[in-house]
Structure 1
Amino acid sequence: MAYIKSRKHAVARAVPHLSGAAAATLMAMAVPAYAQSQAGGTLKEVQVQDTAPNDYKAERASSPKFTQPLVDTPQTITVIKKEILQEQGAVSLSEALRNTPGITFQLGENGNTQSGDSISMRGFDTQGSIYIDGVRDLGAVTRDVFNIEQVEVIKGPSGADVGRAAASGYINLSSKVPMAENFFAGSASFGSADRHRLTADFNRAFEGGMGGTTAFRLNLMEQNGGVAGRDWVKNKSFGVAPSIALGLNTPTRLYFSYLYTKQDNRPDGGVPTVGLPGYQYSLNTALTGNPANRARLAALNYNSTLAGQQAPAVDPSNFYGSLQDFDEVEANMFTARFEHDFSPTTKLRNTFRYGKLDQFRMTTSVIGPTFVTPFQPWSYTVARNRSDGSNRNSDGGQGRVQGNEIITNQTNLSTEFATGSLKHSLTAGLEIIRESQEKDHLMNATGGTGLNGATTPAANLYNPDPNFPLFAYNPQPNGSFDKGETTTVGLYAFDTIKINEQFQLMGGLRLDRYNTKFNNFRVPAATATGTTPATAANLKDSDTLLSWKVGAVYKPAPNGSVYVAYSSSQRPPGGDAFTLNSGATSGDNPAFNPQKSRNFEIGTKWDVLSDRLALTAAVFNTENQNENVTDSVTGIAYQVGKRRVRGFELGAVGQITPAWQVSAGYAHLNAKILRGTTGATGTTDGPLQWTPKNAFTAWTTYKLPMGLIIGGGARYQDGVSRTSAANPAAANGIYTSEDYWVFDGLLGYEINKNVSLQLNIYNIGDKKYVSSFNNGGSRYTPGTPRSYLLTANFKF
């Protein structure tokens, strides 16, 4: 039998026309059949119709840990296929995740700009829960999707799937693999801000190699240009991903793949939030210290509590960084996968991966404004922050020299068998993982002015000059460093028990033994005397984590299910960045227990319209406990903190008709702190950061008979809060962003079966909105303004 089916030709199609010989043969066969029908009665009518490929709807998740199709899996899972990303012109993971509701993005922690995919999902930080082919991906980088088959968003605690993980769930990127067919696909794009992008996907199959088919696949990507609506920001990247498969269409298969990506960007440090709705500013000494100013303000009846709020908003295209800023990323990943089918129902898979990522970044970001002369906006300035080279005890501020490395081996065995009348789908495996991260701190090797926020020259608030010389700058490691490493051995097993055609039970269990080591070294400050000692820390943490999930599925019809499920996960100290901290209130203190999360979910899934359209609905309750809570009086930290996200999510993806495709989702999230700190600015009953109460996303296309394709999308998000305090104190910045609607459009034309054109228009209404902002509320990333992307697609 054939063990691998071509995705490209998996759907049977009616033959559009027949040759004369074929038609004659069919007619000859029809004569006796017709005679038989007259003699023995009328035969049952058989209808054959053309079925268009379903570019939106996926049937299964890529991991063998999911033993059933999505419609029978008791968990909220969103699969975003590459065809949707191509239609939208989406090139990064962040852009792909716009197709599922309840996900937001952050700009960074106070003065530190967070580069890369900084993601929050269902109220919890998910940056450390991103995977490629089931293996954790490391580093705060922007991930490109040129080598991705589909993006899978698994929502809810999933410790049984992947080990230590966020309470929100995890994101898995499924890579493209060689296939037993020949094809070429490519694209060339040009858009706003002089942006261009080229991609190529080449697959070649030939007989031979392990007694079957050998296939080679090569994916390429090159991109360069600016960012729409952001002066001087640029993205330049290159990627190459060769892979080879041996033994396709045989029981034993080998896959080897390599992924190399390089980025050379000018990062975005953000825009001051001055003048945005909800902006608050505390009157500063510079404004009131002068008696003449005080008298003038009093005469004008100037409200001191609103000082600064009367300043107009800045141009969102302003760039407050320096042309010297950079973000250089280089990533290498090698994967080898072995598969063997002992039988059609018993299969073994072993995956080995080695990955290494290096990042060297320097960003200039804005901090807070100074209204030098009241009511004279042209005199207002904004402080800026760069790497702190004068204080070697710092962690580098906006500079980063970081390396991440992972080596792992995963073995998985899947089988099906029966015990009496019960049918089992069992998968079990072993994972061995070693992950490490090393970060060097920076100094200015040229000497001279220090590089912290106090000495970096301020910028004019309304007319910043990116060419203004900051200082002679040659960033080099200063001798201080942080090193962290986590080794994990995990055992897992999942079983789906089919009781009968209507009832199924699912259970999963994972046991992880982890060991984390962290050490750092701090050289004395550059300005300190020789008596100031160097400091060092060596911390360790190890434990055994048990995570599990259970579910029950009732199938009232073959194409639908109703389910109830429970799942759990744990996050130990240092679980995301391998960084332990001996601070008494730090959540990464090895003296503390792991944070524990649990999720209870009731849902239903239906494949309707001849299984072309998938409809989903789920109600869930997620709780995370063992969070640190610091008593505001004693300063002592206790692990009694608890937060909860309760809500529901709806989804629809697939075909309404063969020509009309849709992907849509809505999420309602009721998030709050159940137990937090005490005191005037306590967080008990406060909201969760970065969690919208309502979020909606939709994308649809329709293919007209003359080769035209029209489509568009809409996204809505409620405002999100930067703080979890129930009664936040006044500060310079915004507390929440405003809600917004954004609409996108698509117009495409198929010139022939090989070439098509598409024009994407983003933010048709040119809506100004906050895409992300930092924890301090002082700066934000503006949403993409009205812009375009013109693409030519090729396939052969």
Structure 2
Amino acid sequence: MTIRSRKHQKVSHLAALIAAAIPGMAFAQTEEAQGELNLPEMVVTSKTEVPYKADKSANSKLTQPLLDTPKTVQVIKKEMLREQGANSLMEALRNTPGITMQLGENGNTSAGDTFMMRGFSTQNSTFVDGVRDLGAVSRDVFNLEQVEVVKGAAGSDIGRGASSGYINLISKLPTLTDEVFATIGYGTADKSNLTADINQQLGDNSAFRLNLMRRDGDVDGRDYVDNSSYGVAPSIAFGLDTDTRLYLYSQHVRQDNTPDGGIPTIGMHGFYNADAGLDAGGKVDSENYYGAKGDYERIDGDMFSIKVEHDFNDALTLRNLSRWGRSNNDRVLTGVNGLNAPTATPSTWTVDRRRQVVDQENEILANQTSLSAAFDTFGLRNELAAGLELMSEKQLNRGYDVKAQTIDGVPYTAVPVPPANLYDPSAHDGLGDPYKTGAYSDGETKTAALYVFDTLHLNQQWALNGGVRFEHYRTETDSVAITDEARVPGSAYESGDLTSWNAGVLFKPAENGSIYLSYANSLTPPGSGNFNLAASAADSSSNEQVGLDPQETEHVELGTKWDLLDKRLALTLAAYRTENDKQVSYDAFAARYFQEGKTRVDGVELGLVGQLSNFWQVSAGIAHMKTKQIDQLSHRASTGVTSENTGVRWSPDLTATLWTSYTLGDLTLGGGARYVSEQDRVVTSGTDLSTQNMPSIPSYWVADAMAAYRVNDNVNLRLNVYNLFDEDYIETLNNGGSRARMGTPRSAMLTTELSF
């Protein structure tokens, strides 16, 4: 039920009561008496809720319904995540095509949510309620209403970076209802899941909500690897269903995990080693654990938010959101690297190991003030969103090492990191912990930004959409590096102004459809991704040098969107080109680096979400893209070799995802599949792939299934089976090709859902 005005609702209810109580009087009045009552018009429309489909984004910067928004936006609602038994953000993002996960560079396993979207790294473009969310953390979905994926350059939406879009996580907030929803789950690998979502109305216009999470258990298909976490997210709201609303909410998450360094790639399709014996070696057991019992990962995340909303009238709303957040990731992990074959007997073969440390702190302080307005200009309807954003983001990384060295006269002994037996590793090997060297990088970016978006309706069929963002930033880095066994302090800063914008034209051939053409850009200044600036140097390939121009991404998209089957099913189709310019590249003629490189991505994406019938839900997407690097050369001074990259790593040509469910009385059956085509690791022009170790990740299909039975109004039983056909596949591969993380084998979770 959608009600255009709360005030109209109260007056109409009063009139209805009078009419019922005094039937001979209420509406047998003269026309003059009725004129004195002067009831305002009330418009009431009825709409059936579609579990998978959202009609509008929770982001106030998107002024139109999704049907009339000239860009690709996918909303993944909690109802579908609940059916799938999804726990993490990475599991939620499997529902959108064009996203792939990453593992990291050689010995350095990436931490937290690390992924590519449409050919560009996107993990630093994750937001919570429109505020950037920092940290090398794995995000849980227990406190999320929905996940919104916005694709295409989005500098005007969120500021620096955002070459291929951003992820916006929408928090659960109190409502004027009394509801309790809880889940109790147990699955393979001794996994247990407990969640609770408790919403309690406190008064006529206030409510309290508490979301809780506890997860614990081993990892399917892996020895010694386990995860444990809990979360608490309280919130309280005042003034609900009034003109002024206040929300106070926070989220606190603790994780204590055993990190997974993966397994050697020996024996896998595409493995290569110059040693003929190793090249003919067999696969290792996928359950093998090459770390130590002392490996650990401890993550703390805390976030406090205050949001105020005030409706001046039905057409003008003012909002303010203030947030402080901090996360810490303390991790010691053992990764595998080179192979050794001292004899021809495989039982004597070993694999080198590296002890890695992530010791990172992130902190953010943000304040956003925004205004939404609807008005007429020269008889043309405008819907406008404008705002001011102030933000401080900090990141501190501390350095560790394992080698023997003397730093400023202080001797450090080597930390023992013996190799592991390749086919029979022991988790009880004595591996020393890396020592803190005193090296660190401490960076901060301060941002002040103004933005305005407007949709101008020329008539019932044509609309113009545009937005612009003016942003001033300043990035400062203080650091200490270890050079020639001495601590070398350094500092750098970069500041400037960025102007990002977008424009679109939209045509509605019918009320339930739209065709659009849009353009958008984004700018990425040095240090914007990791708060780490390097001193300017003409012979450096770093994109973080002080003095570099910001990289600029331009994005053009042509698309169409349709609401079908009485607006229960949304169909979207878009073709796009994204080009990122001013990347650092080597000029062989001048023998120095210039900003000449480009990355270009051309793609087509098709999406479908909603209801095929009252009992049949579906969400599906397929994306085809072609990535290309242009004038992207690098030079290795030690060998004098200049190489050219022509493609983009971990960017498959084709990705597809499907999830569907059908309800038969009290029984619901569902399932889905996802496909990822081959992902290239080696993208260097003219390279003989037969001499390269694991030049790509092979394509794979994975299917899941679900069955649920409603016992009564309060109890629902659900069984999820993952990787139904037990597909053996590589989920992620490191940049050097020496180690892989395998996809989860067949596994299951049985969940009891309780609702009151």
Same fold (TM over 0.5): yes
Distance 1:534 1:661 in 2: 60
Matching residue of 2:534: 581
1:236 aligns with 2:228: yes
Distance 2:67 2:528 in 1: 32
Matching residue of 1:289: none
Matching residue of 1:294: none
Whether the 8 Å CA contact 1:733–1:779 is kept in 2: the answer is: no
Say if 1:587 and 1:414 are closer, same or farther in 2 by CA, change over 3 A: same
Distance 1:586 1:764 in 2: 44
| 1:521 partner SS | strand
Matching residue of 1:16: none
1:560 aligns with 2:519: no
Trace 1:682-761 onto structure 2 (pairs within 5 A). 684=644, 686-705=646-665, 707-728=666-687, 733-761=693-721
Q: 1:469 aligns with which of 421, 425, 430?
A: 430
1:594 aligns with 2:540: no
Say if 1:672 and 1:443 are closer, same or farther in 2 by CA, change over 3 A: closer
Q: Which residue identity lines up with residue 578 of structure 1 in the other structure?
A: F
Say if 1:763 and 1:251 are closer, same or farther in 2 by CA, change over 3 A: same
Q: Between the two proteins, what is the percent identity of the paired residues? A: 44
Whether the 8 Å CA contact 1:227–1:235 is kept in 2: the answer is: yes
Say if 1:465 and 1:3 are closer, same or farther in 2 by CA, change over 3 A: farther
Distance 1:443 1:215 in 2: 51
- CA-CA distance at 1:634 after TM superposition: 6.0
Matching residue of 1:227: 219
Whether the 8 Å CA contact 1:4–1:249 is kept in 2: the answer is: no
1:547 aligns with 2:500: yes
Matching residue of 1:153: 149
Q: Which residue identity lines up with residue 424 of structure 2 in the other structure?
A: N
Whether the 8 Å CA contact 1:681–1:725 is kept in 2: the answer is: no
Q: 2:565 aligns with which of 596, 606, 609?
A: 609
Whether the 8 Å CA contact 1:244–1:256 is kept in 2: the answer is: yes
Task: Kindly provide the CA deviation profile for residues 689-734 of structure 1, in whole angstroms up to 9, marking residues without a partner as x.
Answer: 11000011000000002x1110100111101112331234677631
1:215 aligns with 2:188: no
Whether the 8 Å CA contact 1:92–1:142 is kept in 2: the answer is: yes
Q: Which residue identity lines up with residue 407 of structure 1 in the other structure?
A: L
1:788 aligns with 2:752: no
Distance 1:678 1:260 in 2: 43
- CA-CA distance at 1:3 after TM superposition: 8.2
Say if 1:684 and 1:621 are closer, same or farther in 2 by CA, change over 3 A: farther
Say if 1:329 and 1:685 are closer, same or farther in 2 by CA, change over 3 A: closer
Whether the 8 Å CA contact 1:262–1:331 is kept in 2: the answer is: yes
1:765 aligns with 2:718: no
Q: Which residue identity lines up with residue 471 of structure 2 in the other structure?
A: D
1:102 aligns with 2:98: yes
Q: 2:382 aligns with which of 424, 440, 447?
A: 424
Q: 1:494 aligns with which of 437, 440, 453?
A: 453
Q: Which stretch shifts more, 269-278 or 693-702?
A: 269-278
Whether the 8 Å CA contact 1:560–1:604 is kept in 2: the answer is: yes
Matching residue of 2:9: none
1:126 aligns with 2:86: no
1:623 aligns with 2:592: no
1:382 aligns with 2:351: yes
Matching residue of 2:288: 318
Task: Kindly provide the CA deviation profile for residues 197-243 of structure 1, in whole angstroms up to 9, marking residues without a partner as x.
Answer: 10000000132xxxx51010000000111111111111110100000
Matching residue of 2:602: 646
Trace 1:183-198 onto structure 2 (pairs within 5 A). 183-198=179-194
Matching residue of 1:778: 738
| 1:317 partner SS | coil
Say if 1:773 and 1:633 are closer, same or farther in 2 by CA, change over 3 A: farther
Number of equivalences: 707
1:332 aligns with 2:299: no
- CA-CA distance at 1:441 after TM superposition: 2.0
Matching residue of 1:364: 334
Q: Which residue identity lines up with residue 754 of structure 1 in the other structure?
A: N
Whether the 8 Å CA contact 1:184–1:201 is kept in 2: the answer is: yes
Any gaps of 5 or more consecutive residues in structure 1? 6-24, 29-48, 284-303, 387-397
Matching residue of 2:250: 258
Q: 2:262 aligns with which of 270, 290, 302?
A: 270
Matching residue of 2:12: none
| 1:677 partner SS | strand
Task: Kindly provide the CA deviation profile for residues 76-98 of structure 1, in whole angstroms up to 9, marking residues without a partner as x.
Answer: 01110011111111100100000
| 2:343 partner SS | coil
Q: Which residue identity lines up with residue 628 of structure 2 in the other structure?
A: K
Matching residue of 1:391: none
1:433 aligns with 2:386: no
Whether the 8 Å CA contact 2:560–2:573 is kept in 1: the answer is: yes
Tell me the TM-score normalized by structure 1: 0.86
1:485 aligns with 2:444: yes
Matching residue of 1:674: 630
| 1:84 partner SS | helix
Say if 1:3 and 1:223 are closer, same or farther in 2 by CA, change over 3 A: farther
Matching residue of 1:404: 362
Whether the 8 Å CA contact 2:439–2:487 is kept in 1: the answer is: no
Say if 1:445 and 1:635 are closer, same or farther in 2 by CA, change over 3 A: closer
Task: Kindly provide the CA deviation profile for residues 27-79 of structure 1, in whole angstroms up to 9, marking residues without a partner as x.
Answer: x9xxxxxxxxxxxxxxxxxxxx9986311001111111000000000000111
Matching residue of 2:489: 536
- CA-CA distance at 1:590 after TM superposition: 1.2
Distance 1:632 1:113 in 2: 33
Q: 2:321 aligns with which of 333, 347, 351?
A: 351
Distance 1:704 1:626 in 2: 56
Distance 2:5 2:79 in 1: 21
Matching residue of 2:31: none
- CA-CA distance at 1:662 after TM superposition: 0.3
Matching residue of 2:417: 456
Q: Which residue identity lines up with residue 395 of structure 2 in the other structure?
A: Q
Whether the 8 Å CA contact 2:403–2:413 is kept in 1: the answer is: no
| 1:534 partner SS | strand
- CA-CA distance at 1:685 after TM superposition: 6.6
Matching residue of 2:611: 655
Task: Kindly provide the CA deviation profile for residues 346-371 of structure 1, in whole angstroms up to 9, marking residues without a partner as x.
Answer: 00000000001111110000012112
Q: RMSD of the TM alignment (CA)?
A: 2.3
| 1:586 partner SS | coil
Distance 1:3 1:519 in 2: 54
- CA-CA distance at 1:523 after TM superposition: 5.5
Q: Which residue identity lines up with residue 270 of structure 1 in the other structure?
A: G
Distance 2:693 2:83 in 1: 37
Whether the 8 Å CA contact 1:430–1:492 is kept in 2: the answer is: yes
Distance 1:4 1:308 in 2: 73
| 1:86 partner SS | helix
- CA-CA distance at 1:450 after TM superposition: 2.0
Distance 2:474 2:710 in 1: 55
Matching residue of 2:371: 413
Task: Kindly provide the CA deviation profile for residues 666-709 of structure 1, in whole angstroms up to 9, marking residues without a partner as x.
Answer: 0001111122117898665722111000011000000002x111
- CA-CA distance at 1:467 after TM superposition: 1.4
Whether the 8 Å CA contact 1:681–1:727 is kept in 2: the answer is: no
Distance 1:139 1:702 in 2: 38
